[in-house]
Amino acid sequence: MAATSSCNFNWGVNGKGTPEQPCSSSKSSQILFSSNLSFCYSNIRYCLSLRSHQTLLSTRFNETKNSAFVVASAKADPLKIMISGAPASGKGTQCELITKKYGLVHIAAGDLLRAEIASGSENGKRAKEYMEKGQLVPNEIVVMMVKERLLLPDSQENGWLLDGYPRSLLQATALKEFGFQPDLFILLEVNEEILVERVVGRRLDPVTGKIYHLKYSPPETEEIAARLTQRFDDTEEKVKLRLQTHHQNVEAVLLMYEDITLKVNGNVPKEDVFAQIDGALTKLHEDRKLI
């Protein structure tokens, strides 16, 4: 038995099944810093190298005149992150920064709902009625949409960042029953007066889908400014109803993810907000590599 920087198991067996001297691992297998299994049979050397992760990515065969070398390598499970916060708490901005650096698939429950509303579907019509009243959309409308999106190949392979969902304990429980458990639950905390100001000044470009703010992020040209619209749920009256609903439900959701919750100060500039999140994700990512 030999040992390198990770756990290695090397032994040899001849054609009659009796032990021989261990076969040394190749240079390539040692570079993988993984568990190695080597054995000899009928004058042919075989070497199997496995990284101690769960997902098998590739297998490579290199053959020489008297030997065969097999390498199977894998990477760590992708990150699964949830981010929550009141309307206009900065989730969208932080999601852009997170996905840019970590390559996670951004899944926004609000976008899924608005797509249903825009399509004019029956579910969309029902969802709009609840949203106009500042109430949560019933679980049966939302849960299956979120589940199906999380199960798509890109989410499974690259990891996901679930934005604005779950918003109630029932939704969190439904996700858990479907087998979706985050590695980290991020909660953005912002003062209410700041939230109201952010929402009321927010505008949507119907052509590009880009979100502007009349004060903090005005449109680049007069042409863009002329076509901007205000979302029907971005008025002061409706945002206060949404904030009330959010506060009533967030504490219950936190009970589900209490041990993995990161509370972030969202009153500071976006760069400082991301620095708080980035530090936690970097540590989580590095710890995952060591497993």
Catalytic residues: 91, 167, 202, 231, 242
Its sign, for the CA torsion 250, 256, 258, 263, is: negative
Rounded Cα–Cα distance for residues 105 and 150 (Å) = 9
How far apart (Å, rounded) are the C-alpha atoms in residues 157 and 151?
A: 10
Angle between helices 236-256 and 169-177 in degrees, nearest 10: 50
The residues, any chain, with a CB within 8 Å of residue 216's CB and separated by 6 or more, are: 198, 201
Amino acid at 231: R
- Measured between alpha carbons, how far is residue 125 from residues 56, 112, 120, 267 in Å? 44, 13, 6, 35
Integer Rg of the chain from CA: 26
What tokens were used for 220?
Answer: 């680049």
Query: Does residue 166 have a cis peptide bond before it, meaning omega lies within 30 degrees of 0?
Result: yes
Burial of 202 (0-12, 13-18, 19+ CB in 10 A): buried
